Amino acid sequence: MAGRLNGKVALITGAASGIGRATAELFVREGARVVAADIQDDKGARMVEELGPGLLYVRCDVTSEDDIRNAVDTTVRTFGRIDTLFNNAGAPGPNEAADGVTRQSFDEVMHMHVLAAMLGIKYAAPHMRASGGGSIISTASVAGLQNGFGPILYAVAKAGIVHMTKLAAAQLGPSYIRVNCICPGLIATPIFAKGLGVATQVADQTVTSALRAFNNSQPIPRTGLPADIAEAALFLASDGSRFVNGHALVVDGGITVGPTRETEAGGVYAPIIQAFMEDFQLTPPG
């Protein structure tokens, strides 16, 4: 079934790669007009060339409130409305333990994830209310639901997004603005390599390693793909989810159900870390 977003306008942050890119592509195919917000201008320009007039790129650093406001305003000014906001931009943050966290790291990670999502809601909600409703989606993580899936600051930030989703859903629901989040499991994107200190340009090349390494990390024996999360975002953006509000949708191949035999010994990240070590001759963390 095509055209599930016909007539809708969506703003997606972190749209130039990974989950954001896959979601932008799917939304355009399903009939939406999309504003792709990111700081990777070269990739944004290529998206415009490849996806055509249904997509507009805008530079947006989500740690800047002015940039977030401008992205929302540009969306409304260009397309007349905003029906969906996908707060997707994020970064792994430092791999610090609870007794080694720094104030700077804490501020940076919370700003990138929790504050950025909240500011997106702040600026998008009035426009949605004026047009009769909308859908706000944020990228959380299984790391925000239980231990073992990410560094402490990243996990705390993602848990904050899950709870913020519920609170905002209760407050904005009377205006027919639905607020939900998606909790991805192990998805083959550059974020894992970035978390190991790999430069952005090189991290983009590690997706193949992730595809190989994640195959046996969860009960469903294949790697999670950005397209899997894009499909979840499509559902939450579409009228098919018009009665879904305050929900954290887990898309993880069942990894939070419990460890598979292959991951019991080394933890869920053992295969991907080993693959990166081999492919990029990295020094093991710690």
List the catalytic residues. 154
Question: Distances from the Cα of 156 to the Cαs of 66, 164, 167, in angstroms?
Answer: 25, 12, 17
Residue (of 174, 56, 175, 71) closest to 120 by Cα position: 71
89-124 as b/e: b if 16+ CB within 10 A: bbbbbbbbeeeebeeebbebbbbbbbbbbbbbbebb
How far is residue 37's CA from residue 14's CA, in Å, rounded to a whole number? 6
SS3 category, 30:
coil
At 11, list the tokens.
């703003």
How big, in percent rounded to 5, are the helix, strand and coil portions of the chain? 50, 15, 35
At 61, list the tokens.
């650093």
How far is residue 140's CA from residue 129's CA, in Å, rounded to a whole number? 24
For the chain, count helices (H), then strands (E): 11, 7
At 13, list the tokens.
């942050």
At 140, list the tokens.
């959380």
Cα dihedral 240, 244, 245, 250 sign: negative
